[in-house]
Amino acid sequence: MTQTLTTLGWSDHFARQVTLEDTQRPVRITAVHRSRLDGLTADGTPSLSPTVEAGRYAVGDWVIATGASASEPLERTTEITRRAAGEESKPQLIAANVDTLGIVTSCNADFNVARLERYLSMCAASGCLPLVILTKADLTDDVSDYIKQAESLSPVLTAIAINAKDDDDVARLGPWCNKGQTLALVGSSGVGKTTIQNRLTGQIDATQDIREDDAKGRHTTTNRNLRATTAGGWLIDTPGMRELRLVDAEDGVDEVFADITDLAVQCKFNDCAHRTEPGCKVRAAIEAGDLDADRLERWRKLERENRFNTATVGENRGHLKRLQKMYNEGKERGAAKRRR
């Protein structure tokens, strides 16, 4: 398929940020390596050298290439971020300039409302549209129950149930990845992300079966890539996430739990903890059967986690800035001494 900047996802949002010289060209990032960026243009697949640290680029970014050097990423339309896995107190970019985030889960033991709320909070914070993709629909007798549970979590959410091994079924995802649109897939290992990718892109990556005892799978995707879909758009597949820790997602959590936050502002006290305070609208809704008490606890957990992670990442950023300032001052003192 012949590509143009428009079919690659270029828009006025990016065009307004730059004035291109004859030696420059826009490039969309298809993969990020430690010291190299793979890219895609209307007429080639350049390999570029980053001009800032590689961790500041994400698959899906747009950069301006001058020769073999890539500029900093242009301002993004959307940015999917989590707190880095392990003990690192820093945000980790997952993907950029994604139109729809496909949250893949299975119609089996992998289906988990709390995990979906976590992904939806990340999605809302990123600015993407949410799409829940329910796989293994052919192995359950009541697909409608899974769809109902998923769609009850957000008024802007669409849920679709498919058999990931059926070409016609997977083709129903076409509207979310055609005509320059970018769809990113996230979810646990073994839920069928790679199988979906294979059918949407026509490329074959290895897949592995799930464990029957707990419906968990093994990692088959080990990095992120932007790939063309047969529908005319783009797909970003991501490795299965063993942990998804929110960061800078306050607005996303508030949006997903809008039923609770809307009630909270009506409470008698501004600092209501929604436990035993008089005039608490949240507790009143639970007692009336209009709000699930478990959902309130899940909201508390995500809100508390996001607040802690965001503060921790902020402290780490401040520490790194202080170290850099000390380094720069020491470097200047050393240079001054040499000039004497």
Q: Report the length, in residues, of the chain.
A: 340
What pLDDT is recorded for position 38?
97
Q: What is the DSSP string of 213-272?
A: TT--------S-EEEE-TTBSEEEE-PPPS--B--S-HHHHHHHTHHHHHHHTTSSSTT-
Contacts of 32 (CB under 8 A, 6+ apart): 38, 54, 57, 58, 59, 224
What pLDDT is recorded for position 84?
75
What pLDDT is recorded for position 319?
45
pLDDT in tens, the chain (340 residues): 678 999 999 999 999 999 999 999 999 999 999 999 999 998 899 999 999 999 999 999 999 999 999 999 999 999 999 887 666 667 889 999 999 999 999 999 889 999 999 999 999 999 999 999 999 999 898 899 999 999 999 888 999 999 999 999 999 999 999 999 999 999 988 899 999 999 999 987 655 444 444 444 444 444 789 999 999 999 998 876 666 788 788 899 999 999 999 999 999 999 999 999 999 999 999 999 999 999 999 999 998 888 888 887 655 555 445 445 555 555 566 666 566 6
What pLDDT is recorded for position 300?
92
